[in-house]
């Protein structure tokens, strides 16, 4: 217990609680979320609860983070389809964004590291900060429930970043230009060119839904083949979603062909 109290004193736990806007009833959860695995690895007491590292909490925090961010996007954007929700959520829970969130609250200052890792500069590594941020989210959840995580997420994870990403998404181009990627892949493999066809349009003017089909135009004059369909609140968004799905399917087919060729080659040797 003395070791745990010393750790709390060293990282000035109350300052971090203010930044998280949550007073912990079980401060040992927060301390564990801040404890890098190097501490237990160099301590020689791997089973000592007082020095539990944050890897298990990181696992839980990742799941809680995905739920809370997904829930917020689902409620805030009733006009978005699954593809749109997935793309924005992926960016909001990404290692880069979570690392940025950690840096804004100066989480690295509270991270408990072994002195050898301290010298290696791990305190400011984006991956380490991102993992620690997920562990802290798990600690918030275990101590204060989903409401504590929602409060932090609204202010620090979503906030202006979510608004900015929503604006980019409405342009149909910014969040991953799948149309360009699909065209480059098809042309690079000499498969043909993509063609986008509006298949359906529904809903009132303020909540339109468009269904776009992307087809493969071949150079030999054969009828175009449907690759995928995408839904979106604008034609551009629907086209990008169709391109994203088509890109996945074309890559999957190419991988399957490569594996089949490799198997045949092995069989003939």
155-165 residue pLDDT tens: 999 999 999 88
pLDDT at 122: 73
Domain with CATH 1.10.1520.10 in the chain: 2-171
How confident is the model over 74-78, as a mean pLDDT?
94
Q: Which residues lie below 8 Å from residue 102, measured CB to CB, with a gap of 6+?
A: 108, 129, 130, 132, 133
pLDDT at 265: 57
Domain with CATH 3.30.160.20 in the chain: 178-268
Element spanning 60, H or E = helix 55-76
pTM: 0.66
What span, in angstroms and rounded, lies between the C-alpha atoms of 190 and 207? 39
Q: Are 210 and 235 within 8 A, CB to CB?
A: yes
Q: Are 192 and 202 within 8 A, CB to CB?
A: no
Q: Is 62 among the residues known to form the active site?
A: yes
Active-site entry in 28, 53, 62, 241: 62
pLDDT at 15: 93
Helix (H, G, I), strand (E, B) or coil at 59: helix
Q: What is the CATH number of domain 178-268?
A: 3.30.160.20
CATH classification for the domain delimited by 2-171, as one of 3.40.50.720, 1.10.340.30, 1.10.1520.10, 3.90.1300.10? 1.10.1520.10
Q: How far is CA 20 from CA 64, 113, 141, 148, in A?
A: 16, 21, 12, 9
pLDDT one-digit tens code per residue, 191-232: 889 999 999 999 888 778 899 999 998 776 676 789 999 988
């Amino acid at each position: 217990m003395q070791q745990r109290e010393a750790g709390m004193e060293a990282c000035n736990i109350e300052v971090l609680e203010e930044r998280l806007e949550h007073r912990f009833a079980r401060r040992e959860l927060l301390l564990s979320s801040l404890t890098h695995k190097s501490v237990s690895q160099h301590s020689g007491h791997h089973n000592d609860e007082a020095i539990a590292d944050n890897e298990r909490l990181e696992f839980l925090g990742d799941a809680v983070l995905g739920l809370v961010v997904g829930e917020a996007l689902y409620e805030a954007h009733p006009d978005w389809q699954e593809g749109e929700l997935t793309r924005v959520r992926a960016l909001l829970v990404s290692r880069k964004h979570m690392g940025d969130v950690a840096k804004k609250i100066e989480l690295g200052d509270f991270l408990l590291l072994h002195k050898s890792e301290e010298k290696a500069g791990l305190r400011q590594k984006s991956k380490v900060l991102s993992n620690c941020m997920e562990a802290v989210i798990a600690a918030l959840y275990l101590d204060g429930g989903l409401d504590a995580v929602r409060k932090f997420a609204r202010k620090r994870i979503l906030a202006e970043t979510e608004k900015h990403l929503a604006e980019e998404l409405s342009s149909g181009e910014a969040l991953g230009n799948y149309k360009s990627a699909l065209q480059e892949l098809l042309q690079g493999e000499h498969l043909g060119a993509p063609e986008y066809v509006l298949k359906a349009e529904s809903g009132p003017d303020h909540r339109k839904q468009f269904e776009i089909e992307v087809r493969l135009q071949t150079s030999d004059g054969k009828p175009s083949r449907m690759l995928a369909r995408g839904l979106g609140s604008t034609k551009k968004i629907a086209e990008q979603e169709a391109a994203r799905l088509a890109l996945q399917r074309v890559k999957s087919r190419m991988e399957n062909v490569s594996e089949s060729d490799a198997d045949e080659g092995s069989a003939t040797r």
